[in-house]
Amino acid sequence: MEETRDPAAVGAGMEADGPESAQEPPPAPRSPPSPPSPPPPATPEAPELPQPEPSEAGARQLLLDEWGPLGGSLLLPSKVTWKLLLLRRPLYRNLLRSPNPEGINIYQPAPPTGPTRQPLEALGNFRGWHIGTEPLQQNLSWTVKQQCVNLLAEGLWEELLDDEQPDVTVMDWYEDSRLDQCVYELHVWLLAADRRSVIAQHHVAPRSPGKGRPGHWIQVSHVFRQYGPGVRFIHFLHKTKNRMEPGGLRRTRVTDSSVSVQLRE
């Protein structure tokens, strides 16, 4: 789904599907690319001052205050504790690393930039992203950025993923650069433990609306629901289009990419 709107309206009207999507998907890879090894989860920063460690009951109450009524019915397996969940916080947070690598603010139009000869990695903090390029015709090319999220390493557990099948929400913002009719693609796969077997997938290649001033941000979002048991990895891949000009490469920028897991209502 794609739409142009005030960023303050994030989260409203997101597209969702179950095992079979009603939307006709665009041409897309039949299988995910060879997945890069997911980086280890980031170590939470230690507080500046020592804080007393909460009890198991205290940790549970803190999380239920954050998660709302849906968390009250959550049963934990023996290997998972509320104190561990409080430390890892695997639900309701962005599981992607460096989701805003260029530090661009979506609440303002994308700042104008000229073409550049600098590599993308020199323009921000792209830690966690695996970056590649796909050449096209007419001086065009795709920049391909991808991450593979290990859900168990992030603190989720098999019983939750298989029995509860929490919602998986994917969201992204891309610049309406007008470099071509289509300047952005999103490809997401929910993968089994072998990181190759596809349990659910979503692909979208929106066309530029051609309205308003170039440079405004367009939101793309999707919710996976009732996708079936066995999901252990989420492979997130997006493409942004570039055009080679006399001064270098003019790029389509993207920011605030996110993958998150929520308890299903």
pLDDT in tens, 86-131: 999 999 999 999 999 999 989 888 888 789 999 999 999 999 999 9
Find out whether 257 and 99 touch, Cβ atoms under 8 Å.
yes
Q: Can you give the pLDDT at residue 238?
A: 98
Same domain for 215 and 168:
yes
In a shared domain, residues 199 and 235: yes
Residue 101 lies in a domain: yes
Q: What is the rounded CA–CA span in Å between residue 119 and residue 116? A: 8
Residue 258 lies in a domain: yes
Q: How many domains does the chain have?
A: 2
Looking at residue 1, its pLDDT comes to 47
Whether 24 maps to a domain, the answer reads no
Domain membership flag for residue 114 = yes
Look-up of token digits 């909460």: 54
132, 65: one domain: no
Q: Shortest CA distance to 230 belongs to which of 118, 138, 115, 151? A: 151
Taking the CB of residue 80, how many other CB atoms lie within 10 A of it?
Answer: 19
Do residues 124 and 58 both lie within one domain?
A: no
**Boundary (domain end) residue, out of 68, 89, 110:** 89
Question: In angstroms, what is the C-alpha Rg of the chain?
Answer: 20
161 and 245 both lie in a single domain:
yes
pLDDT at 8 over 60: no
3-state helix, strand, coil in the chain (%, to 5): 15, 30, 55
Q: Are residues 129 and 207 located together in one domain of the fold?
A: yes
Residue 26 is predicted with a pLDDT of: 58
Based on the fold, state whether residues 154 and 120 are members of the same structural domain. yes
What digits encode the pLDDT tens for the residues 220-243? 999 999 999 999 999 999 999 999
**What domain range is 57 assigned to?**
47-89
Residue 21 forms part of a structural domain: no
Q: Do 83 and 104 have their domain in common?
A: no
Residue-wise burial string across 6-40, b where 16 or more C-beta atoms lie within 10 A, e elsewhere: eeeeeeeebbebeeebeeeeeeeeeebeebeebbe
pLDDT in tens, 169-191: 999 999 999 999 999 999 999 99
Q: Are residues 107 and 74 in the same domain?
A: no
Asked if residue 185 lies in contact with residue 239, where contact means CB atoms within 8 angstroms, the answer is yes
Residues 164 and 58 in one domain: no
6 located within any domain: no
Identify the burial level of 211 via C-beta atoms within 10 angstroms of its C-beta, where 0-12 means exposed, 13-18 middle and 19 or more buried.
exposed
N- to C-terminal Cα separation, the chain: 22
Same domain membership, residue 160 and residue 99: yes
pTM for the predicted model, two decimal places? 0.81
CB atoms under 10 Å from CB of 206, counted, come to 19
Put residue 84 in one of left, alpha, beta given phi > 0 → left and psi -120 to 50 → alpha: alpha
Distances (CA, A) of 69 to 85, 164, 254, 264: 17, 15, 35, 11
Contact present, 240 and 183 (Cβ < 8 Å): yes
190: CATH:
2.60.120.260
Q: Note whether residue 20 is domain-resident.
A: no
Domain boundary among 35, 67, 89: 89
Residue 3 in this model has a pLDDT that exceeds 80 = no
Q: Which of 88, 81, 90, 76 is nearest to 55 (CA)?
A: 81
Bridge partners of residue 255, in order along the sequence: 173
- The answer as to whether 23 is a domain residue is no
Residue at which a domain ends, from 89, 120, 154 = 89
pLDDT bin (cut points 50, 70, 90) of residue 21 is very low
Q: Does one domain contain both 63 and 157?
A: no
| Cβ(102)–Cβ(253) below 8 Å | yes
